[in-house]
Structure 1
Amino acid sequence: MTTRRSGHGPVSRLRAVPGVRAVSSYRREWLVKDVVAGVVLTTLLVPQGMAYAELAGLPPITGLYTTVLCLLGYAVCGPSRILVLGPDSSLGPMIAATVLPLVAAGGDPGRAVALASVLALMVAAIMILASVAKLGFIADLVSKPTMIGYMNGLALTILIGQLPKLLGFSVDADNLIGECAGLVRKIAEGAVVPAAAAVGVGGIVLLLVLQRFVPKVPAVLVMVVLAIAAAVVFDLGERGVGLVGVLPEGFPPFTIPQVGLSDLAPLFAGALGIALVSLADTISNASAFAARTGQKVHGNGEMAGVGAANLAAALFQGFPVSTSGSRTAVAQRAGARTQLTGVVGAALIVVMLLLAPGLFRNLPQPALAAVVITASLSLADIPGTVRLWRQRRAEFLLCFAAFAGVALLGVLPGIAIAVALSVLNVFRRAWWPYNTVLGRVPGLEGYHDVRSYPRAGQLPGLVIYRFDAPLIFANARTFRDEVRRLADADPRPAWIVVAAEPMTDVDTTAADMLAELDETLNAEGVHLVFAELKDPVRRKVERYELTRTIDAGHFFPTLEAAVTAFRLHTGAEWKAPTDGSSGSTGSTGSTGITGS
């Protein structure tokens, strides 16, 4: 009789699904808290879902479809207990920038929905494949300074784009400058609808005040209820204020979206940018809330969960989604314990669509604009930008460049610029790493940077040089030029000892450079010596056959061993530099004493 291996049967595979594990380990005492949290969360999900759908250039109802399906999809496949997914303010402009240029003249909403659903399918495929390939590290491609700049630009783009709706008119423009010009022109022409402006501005003030001083009160719900009441009491629809109107009754059927082949390339380009931003949001939010609840972050599992959420939304006329820090915080404050909170929220939205589709028919459009604008304000990080200016101007410039890319070129080019700047910044640091000369400081063990200790002692004829980076093709010339400059000092040093502990790698390009450099220096009576070279790097040096050129006796385990060997050969004694020492890498303090 054969026995099935444990862990490989269908039951074991089923138990590996996060939703199944959550059900099997669910505790009865969590039920009331999850249901209450789900009810509270729904008050935020409905208006935000509708508002972010319009931000993406889609009908408001699609925001509700998307919210329902992504919550259910993540509840089944997502590893986090309380992370909440849904339409997101940071993705809305990216979806609009991808979809709207492809929509036929006249703005057919059906085609826009189909394009957005295909976009969600592509995002799902990218996230699931990235999860299988364990590519969660891709989120690190965007550094924090460039992400701050990108989000600041996104916040400004959303703010300017929503102001016309807030004031009761529309602007037809393709970029931020055009929107700003159109906004000013329309205001000057008197296009502002006073009733719309009152609802919109009042909504923003109310949201900000409630969020600031009474954070436990569902600010969005309060504002929406008051806006609907004002629309009914003051008959705002007759005063030129746009209303949401009656939503379509029921729920959409399972739909496989269809688009033309010519649309796939631009959609895929947008999907890549959306997936990157969604991945960065997911990892950061998951890490933040896992730290609060004592859970572990499963980066690859989170990607799979977000992929499943996007897939579910795409098949029911939805659009791309991401995690939401604000909605997750609301769920947590309301007492959420598991993903049942999101399931309750999804169920309540479905009930509303089936039984009360006209519930939000009198909701003013400026109120939705107020929701989006207050969300955009939370995207901006002005204190973080100021801190970069004060602490590190180079990273502030990266931040500003990413901001300008979004503001001037658009949302999708902006994320491409942010990624490119982050990668180039890494390359820049590898290309021009910090390097310095070391000396001996009385009272301190070891050898120290002469820039920090200008009075550090030097051995005549010896230069200790530290290069703080892997030695690779990108910086091989920089290393060679610096060593050549040290060797050309007057008087010429006899040994240049490379403090190689920071060198975590030497590639073949750098190895060829070292061979040529050593031969050149030997002809001039200067010896290239290495100390503290890591064992893996030393093995690479031997594999490159560098020891044929560089004397095997010129590799030392420690700097002290190299210095002791030099002193034994030359009889040199330590001395302090003169008062005029600059402490630069060119100040070797050598006297020209030569050694073997």
Structure 2
Amino acid sequence: MKERLARFLPCLQWARQYDRDAAGKDFLAAAIVTLMLIPQSLAYAMLAGLPPINGLYASILPLIAYALFGTSRTLAVGPVAVVSLMTAAALGPLFASGSAEYAGAALLLALLSGALLLAMAVLRLGFLANFLSHPVISGFISASGLLIALGQLKHILGIRAAGEHAPQLLLDLLANLPDTHLPTLAIGASALAFLFLVRSRLSPWLQALGFTPRVAGSLAKTGPVLALLASILAVSLLDLAEAGVRVVGAVPSGLPAFSLPTLDLALATQLLPAALLISLVGFVESVSVAQTLAAKRRQRIEPNQELVALGASNVAAALSGGFPVTGGFARSVVNFDAGAQTPLAGALTAVGIAVTVLFFTPLFHNLPQAVLAATIIVAVLSLVDLGALKRTWRYSRQDAAAMAATMLGVLLVGVEAGILIGVGLSLLLFLWRTSQPHIAVVGQLPGSEHFRNIERFAVVESPKVLSVRVDESLYFPNARYLEDRIAELVTRRPAAEHLVLMCPGVNLIDASALESLEAISARLHAAGIQLHLSEVKGPVMDRLSQTDFLAHFGGRVFISQFEALAELDPQTTRRAIGQRRNGLPFVHPQLQESDSEKRP
């Protein structure tokens, strides 16, 4: 019973070994992350189209929920840029930004996201996130970062601009550029310069002054707080709000009231697709960060339990005036580097945010929106990796095409459309690639029992046994291709008496492929050639055993290709074994060209 409860509440596991040393490290990490999270929460709420206080609300109860249910010791949950952008993209066309209806819809969106994540956990559907390939996610995050940065320039310039995608935003910015508010531009540009300088230079400077790398790095993370305080002081002393500098304004004090979002069935149906995308993107981002950080300490996370934790966090956000949340990359790395030992560091961060909400929100009245925009721009530009497109293109043009399509979709069409385009193209390219599997004629390496591609190695071929290796699972998109390819190879070898289909790379043979194998066997038999199989994997063999194919095709299933050739053409096998290999096998000249599709 205790073990089952501990699996559902992972906090019970680390709580048993919790000591004073771990507590001290968690308190230090919580203090650093709290200072980082305060300006980010305010900024990401503005990015989501909500009042700044909602960002602080989304950084209290969700963090406590994750501390109870999460398996990562260092993942920092809360508002993040990409999910905030997706929230704005989903709600912007429906309601006026900042309105009560908009805030209520954000709560409902968080509730739907949490419910979907919990449902995925119950049904163990975490594998659905696998459909978001790394190139698609990378392209989506980079394009979203550029779109977010472009959208925040209006706050830096002090002008009005709107648009659902990059061309609209850019044209509107250019059209309103003559209305730039110079005091706002001065504050925004100064904040940008300061934040970029702090991010890139402050830590090395502090280390040069004698600070340890850890202390220097921690102090560098306080840059956004310093920019926030300095800008508030400047606006207050110079009365810049009266001069037209837009400020946050009155921020209510006190903890949020707990209430269930208004359950509007029609609105929930309309928001469901966006909630599903937010859930999947948030889950993939969180699990990727959590696994990376856990591996550094030789820890492990449980993805299905992470679904529970993130689902509970979003439900908590919906009940406490927030909006959709997930694990953030930058904050999690800071939490890790600051020495956090358990998820209690996140709960302590929530306490720090709660104290801020109770006592310090009046300080944010004169906080310029331009400084929050600068905070967002600096944060999201660190996520942009345009070089990934070039690196991916060199390795796989198909993956690069999916990445480029995602980026262009996000920038030119919209956030949700962009990721759907990327996922759709990835699946189409996968089907196209697997519809033409690599099929190689193989021969025996001299002096060994190994078989390799005749186009790559100097091998011994049997005149009477045609050995064909298939490097892909056999299913409906490639079943006909296999038939055509086998027919083509047979016509080139009129002396062949046997054809052995090597299946070391075949993990599945579906019903369509089974019919193709039956058709291939019948056609070969009519041509005086017997079909055999070799190196069939256990699960595939189990499924074949449930059919009458093995009883009727007339051939044999060999454990290895060497056994097949030794049985069907022992003379060639002995000749190959007797030969010596001098040095490395001969490599076909085609290998001098870049061709990632060829197999050994």
User: Could you state the TM-score of these two structures normalised by the residue count of structure 2?
Assistant: 0.88
| Percent of residue pairs identical | 32
- Counterparts of 1:121 and 1:49, CA distance in 2: 19
- Counterparts of 2:543 and 2:25, CA distance in 1: 59
Could you tell me how far 1:457 is from its partner in structure 2?
3.4
Judged with a 3 Å threshold, the aligned counterparts in structure 2 of structure 1 residues 18 and 540 are, in CA distance, closer, same or farther, namely closer
Query: Which amino acid in the other structure matches residue 114 of structure 1?
Result: G
- The equivalent position to 2:520 in structure 1, one of 504, 517, 530, is 517
**1:11-38, Cα deviation, whole Å (9 max, x unpaired):** x848952345544542123333333332
Q: Which residue of 2 aligns with 1:507?
A: 510
Judged with a 3 Å threshold, the aligned counterparts in structure 2 of structure 1 residues 519 and 23 are, in CA distance, closer, same or farther, namely closer
Q: Does 1:53 align with 2:80?
A: no
Residue ranges of structure 1 left out of the alignment (5+ in a row): 1-5, 585-596
- Counterparts of 1:571 and 1:418, CA distance in 2: 49
Q: Is the 8 A contact 2:165 2:410 kept in 1?
A: no
Query: Which amino acid in the other structure matches residue 201 of structure 1?
Result: A
Q: Which residue of 1 aligns with 2:209?
A: none
Could you tell me how far 1:182 is from its partner in structure 2?
0.8
- The equivalent position to 1:555 in structure 2, one of 554, 557, 570, is 557
- Counterparts of 2:553 and 2:519, CA distance in 1: 10
**What's the secondary structure of 2:366's corresponding residue?**
coil
- Counterparts of 2:414 and 2:370, CA distance in 1: 24
Q: Does 1:205 align with 2:193?
A: yes
- Counterparts of 1:174 and 1:130, CA distance in 2: 30
Q: Does 1:180 align with 2:170?
A: yes
> Counterparts in 2 of 1:183-194, with a 5 A limit?
183-187=173-177, 190-194=178-182
- Counterparts of 1:357 and 1:539, CA distance in 2: 66
Q: Is the 8 A contact 1:99 1:115 kept in 2?
A: yes
**1:548-582, Cα deviation, whole Å (9 max, x unpaired):** 44214x4322212222333259999779xxx9x99
Q: Which residue of 2 aligns with 1:135?
A: 125
**1:53-105, Cα deviation, whole Å (9 max, x unpaired):** 111111111001111121122122223233211001010111011112221xx
Q: Which residue of 1 aligns with 2:146?
A: 156
**1:126-150, Cα deviation, whole Å (9 max, x unpaired):** 1112222223332222111111111
Could you tell me how far 1:301 is from its partner in structure 2?
1.6
Q: Which residue of 2 aligns with 1:594?
A: none
Judged with a 3 Å threshold, the aligned counterparts in structure 2 of structure 1 residues 564 and 15 are, in CA distance, closer, same or farther, namely closer
Could you tell me how far 1:49 is from its partner in structure 2?
0.4
Q: Is the 8 A contact 1:82 1:337 kept in 2?
A: yes
User: Could you state the TM-score of these two structures normalised by the residue count of structure 1?
Assistant: 0.89
Judged with a 3 Å threshold, the aligned counterparts in structure 2 of structure 1 residues 201 and 493 are, in CA distance, closer, same or farther, namely farther
- Counterparts of 1:15 and 1:473, CA distance in 2: 40
- Counterparts of 2:428 and 2:27, CA distance in 1: 48
Query: Which amino acid in the other structure matches residue 556 of structure 1?
Result: F
Query: Which amino acid in the other structure matches residue 384 of structure 1?
Result: A
Could you tell me how far 1:234 is from its partner in structure 2?
3.6
Q: Which residue of 1 aligns with 2:236?
A: 232
Query: Which amino acid in the other structure matches residue 287 of structure 1?
Result: Q
Q: Which residue of 2 aligns with 1:592?
A: none
> Counterparts in 2 of 1:463-482, with a 5 A limit?
463-482=466-485
Could you tell me how far 1:456 is from its partner in structure 2?
3.4
Q: Please say which of residues 93-102 and 48-57 is displaced more in the overlay.
A: 93-102
Judged with a 3 Å threshold, the aligned counterparts in structure 2 of structure 1 residues 19 and 514 are, in CA distance, closer, same or farther, namely closer
Q: Does 1:80 align with 2:72?
A: yes
Judged with a 3 Å threshold, the aligned counterparts in structure 2 of structure 1 residues 206 and 506 are, in CA distance, closer, same or farther, namely same
Q: Please say which of residues 51-60 and 207-216 is displaced more in the overlay.
A: 207-216
Could you tell me how far 1:170 is from its partner in structure 2?
1.6
- The equivalent position to 1:257 in structure 2, one of 244, 256, 261, is 261
- Counterparts of 1:52 and 1:558, CA distance in 2: 59
Q: Is the 8 A contact 1:511 1:544 kept in 2?
A: no
Judged with a 3 Å threshold, the aligned counterparts in structure 2 of structure 1 residues 443 and 414 are, in CA distance, closer, same or farther, namely same
Q: Which residue of 2 aligns with 1:145?
A: 135
- Counterparts of 2:44 and 2:307, CA distance in 1: 22
- Counterparts of 2:282 and 2:393, CA distance in 1: 27
Could you tell me how far 1:235 is from its partner in structure 2?
3.1
Q: Is the 8 A contact 1:38 1:345 kept in 2?
A: yes
Aligned pair count? 566
